[in-house]
Amino acid sequence: MIEIKNLNKAFGDRKVVNDVSFVFETGKTNLVIGESGSGKTTILKMMVGLHVPDSGDVEYDGRSFTHSSEKEKQEVRKEIGMLFQGGALFDSLTIEQNVAFPLDMFTEMSSEEKTERVNFCLQKVNLEGRNKLYPAELSGGMKKRAALARAIANNPKYLFCDEPNSGLDPKTSLVIDALIKDVTLEFGMTTVVITHDMNSVMEIGQNILFLYKGNMWWQGNNKEILTTDNQEILDFVYASEFLKQLKPRK
Amino acid sequence: MKLFYHTGKYFLLLKRVFGKPEKISVYYKQILHEIDSLGIGSLGLIAIISVFMGGVITIQSAYNFTSPFIPLYAVGLGTRESIVLEFSPTIISLILAGKVGSNIASEIGTMRISEQIDALEIMGINSAGYLILPKIAAAMFINPFLIVISMFLGVLGGYVMGVATGACTSYEYIFGIQSFFVPFNIYYSLTKTIVFAFIITSVAGYQGYYTSGGALEVGKASTRSVVYNSILILIMNLVITQIMLVG
Ligand SMILES: Nc1ncnc2c1ncn2[C@@H]1O[C@H](COP(=O)(O)OP(=O)(O)OP(=O)(O)O)[C@@H](O)[C@H]1O
Ligand SMILES: [Mg+2]
């Protein structure tokens, strides 16, 4: 369980995150949704310590993170897997070396065990056989998937995904969503997924935080989101005319 | 004021660079990799420059030593001393500051803006140490070898071109490069080289590590690293010379 408490963040004098509190539950896929620029990535970066919040706290299973020492932060981070919005693959390393990187760094696995684990992860994201390619040789969606493979390589306790589906076709999107949901359940991870893809919301929205202009606006799950009468959510969920026709009537 | 700010930030970064490594074996592999890319990769350039500069130094010395009171073996002696004391350690280091320094700054800068450094941090890795320490260690180890090779090739270049152009005879040159040899000068040169290697890699690492923005800023960081490195090398050259040769 990860709990964020009263997080605040401003860049210069522009307030980007305004007093947001939420509980991300273990074994569930927790979603952060909201329109572009609403502060989703900023919240995620505060949760992992890449941005320092102006005030507030983040707790990992009761361990205070934001106000802990650099050393304690590193200990928590060894249990974190993260998929960046841009992938952030190491471009001097092949896909295989990228996925093996956390294993090289933090485990004593033999090279056979590593190869096996790497192939397992690559196969999960439909990239089997692409081991020797460099990030520059991949398409945008393939980079995303390779980065996801790296994020789950070392069986993290906490998994953060910043828009795992952007740039993917609908079918691959579903595969990735299913993968995230499966590993979360199977390994009892606490997973936080940022998305603005309504398909993902319906597929894996077990616990949703909706942000509106940096404010925590609504929370619930994928069933409740269809029936809320909160106007900003309705605008977000039924963005297109086509979807509006599908809106269930009460 | 800005100078103090950056000096402070630089030393704070160095403190992180020399923090405890996560895994020695990974660092070890990185160091070997950097020795190859920073050191061996510069060998060709250094060889060409050294041979030609050695040749020019010889021809110029012979051109200037027209007085009958200066024996002709002074050409070989002068060439050797210029190369050992100044050309190889300082000029080659300045060239490496351009080649290796800008390379390091843009590599690390690109990793910063594409969030690769953040990705390292998230994994719980000391990114400053992982990225910069192997480069510092590799350069401090391999640059003395590069400089010794440069000295050798410079003197050889002087011989070949001096004899070929008739600036001096083979006998005089060889006699010259063997006379009045002071081993301490080599020690002085290599000390300079090692200090310069540290400056080049750490300053370039600093510039790259604190890049923010986009591709434009990576270019600027790379330029800044060359400028600051050159200035620092020239200043340290003066300081070390004063301490070791005079003081
Ligand atoms: N490093 C930064 N410096 C200044 N402003 C920033 C910085 N990072 C983000 N912002 C600003 O904070 C706001 C929220 O950004 P954020 O990246 O959190 O949005 P987001 O919800 O992730 O959007 P998207 O869905 O487009 O990724 C934006 O208006 C952005 O301009
Ligand atoms: Mg974002």
Which of ligand 1's atoms lies nearest the C-alpha of A39?
Answer: 18
Per the prediction, chain B carries an average pLDDT of 93
**Residue by residue, what is the 3-state secondary structure of chain A?**
CEEEEEEEEEECCEEEEEEEEEEECCCCEEEEECCCCCCHHHHHHHHHCCCCCCEEEEEECCEECCCCCHHHHHHHHCCEEEEECCECCCCCCCHHHHHHHHHHHHCCCCHHHHHHHHHHHHHHCCCCCCCCCCHHHCCHHHHHHHHHHHHHHCCCCEEEEECCCCCCCHHHHHHHHHHHHHHHHHCCCEEEEEECCHHHHHHHCCEEEEEECCEEEEEECCCHHHHCCCHHHHHHHCCCHHHHHHCCCC
Read off the tokens for A114: 């590593």
Q: Which of residues 55-114 of B touch A (CB under 8 A)?
A: 110-111, 114
Report chain A residues whose CB lies below 8 A from the CB of B22.
105-106
Q: Which amino acid is at A104?
A: D
Q: Give the pLDDT score at A26.
A: 94
Q: What is the pLDDT of residues A11-23, one digit of tens each?
A: 999 999 999 999 9
Q: Give the pLDDT score at A171.
A: 86
Q: Please answer whether residues A180 and A159 qualify as being in contact, where contact means their C-beta atoms are separated by less than 8 angstroms.
A: yes
Residue B27 touches partner A, C-beta closer than 8 Å: no
Q: Give the pLDDT score at B87.
A: 92
Ligand 1 pocket, residue A98 CB under 6 Å = no
A80/B122 CB distance under 8 A:
yes
pLDDT interval class at B189 (50, 70, 90): very high
CB under 8 Å to A110, separation ≥6 — which residues? Answer: none
Q: Give the pLDDT score at B48.
A: 96
Share of chain A above pLDDT 90, in %: 64
Ligand 1 pocket, residue A195 CB under 6 Å = no
B114/A88 CB distance under 8 A:
yes
Which of ligand 1's atoms lies nearest the C-alpha of A45?
Answer: 18
Share of chain A above pLDDT 70, in %: 99
Which residue of chain A comes nearest to B119, CA vs CA? Answer: A88
What is the rounded distance in angstroms from the CA atom of residue A11 to the CA atom of residue A31?
Answer: 24
What is the rounded distance in angstroms from the CA atom of residue A17 to the CA atom of residue A54?
Answer: 10
Ligand 1 pocket, residue A37 CB under 6 Å = yes
Q: What is the pLDDT of residues A164-209, one digit of tens each?
A: 988 788 888 888 899 899 889 988 999 999 998 888 888 899 999 9
Token pair 């050309």: residue: B87
**Considering only CA atoms, which residue is closest to atom 30 of ligand 1?**
A37
Q: What is the pTM of this model?
A: 0.90
Residue B116 touches partner A, C-beta closer than 8 Å: yes
Residue B9 backbone dihedrals phi, psi, to 5 degrees: -65, -35
Q: Which amino acid is at B149?
A: I
Q: What is the pLDDT of residues A69-111, one digit of tens each?
A: 988 888 899 899 999 988 999 999 999 999 999 999 888 899 9
State the distance from the centre of ligand 2 to the C-alpha of A50, rounded, in angstroms: 14
B22/A50 CB distance under 8 A:
no
Which residue of chain A comes nearest to B23, CA vs CA? Answer: A105
**Residue A210 pLDDT greater than 80, yes or no:** yes
Select the residue from A51, A105, A155 to test the B interface by mutation, using most B Cβ atoms within 10 A. A105
Cβ burial, residue B208 (10 Å; 0-12/13-18/19+): buried
What is the rounded distance in angstroms from the CA atom of residue A158 to the CA atom of residue B124?
Answer: 13
Which residue of chain B comes nearest to A48, CA vs CA? Answer: B122
- Nearest-neighbour CA in chain B from A79: distance (Å): 8
Give the residue among A5, A45, A1, A39 at the shortest CA–CA distance from A21. A5
Beta bridge partner(s), residue A220: A208
Ligand 1 pocket, residue A40 CB under 6 Å = yes
**Residue A42 pLDDT greater than 90, yes or no:** yes
Residue B217 touches partner A, C-beta closer than 8 Å: no
Q: What is the pLDDT of residues B129-164, one digit of tens each?
A: 999 999 999 999 999 999 999 999 999 999 999 899
Q: Please answer whether residues A185 and A167 qualify as being in contact, where contact means their C-beta atoms are separated by less than 8 angstroms.
A: no
What is the rounded distance in angstroms from the CA atom of residue B134 to the CA atom of residue A92?
Answer: 15
Which residue of chain B comes nearest to A89, CA vs CA? Answer: B116
Report chain B residues whose CB lies below 8 A from the CB of A106.
22-23, 123-124
Determine how β-strand A207-212 pairs with β-strand A29-33: parallel
What is the rounded distance in angstroms from the CA atom of residue A242 to the CA atom of residue B188?
Answer: 79
**Considering only CA atoms, which residue is closest to atom 26 of ligand 1?**
A36
Q: Which of residues 159-198 of B touch A (CB under 8 A)?
A: none
Ligand whose nearest atom lies closest to the CA of A162: 2
Q: What is the pLDDT of residues A216-240, one digit of tens each?
A: 999 998 888 888 888 888 888 887 7
Q: What is the pLDDT of residues B27-73, one digit of tens each?
A: 999 999 999 999 999 999 999 999 999 999 999 988 888 777 778 78
pLDDT interval class at B168 (50, 70, 90): confident
Q: Give the pLDDT score at B172.
A: 87
What is the rounded distance in angstroms from the CA atom of residue B33 to the CA atom of residue B97?
Answer: 19
Residue B125 touches partner A, C-beta closer than 8 Å: yes
Share of chain B above pLDDT 90, in %: 75
B121/A77 CB distance under 8 A:
yes
Per the prediction, chain A carries an average pLDDT of 90
Dihedral sign (CA A98, A99, A101, A104) = negative
Q: Give the pLDDT score at A230.
A: 82
State the distance from the centre of ligand 1 to the C-alpha of B104, rounded, in angstroms: 29
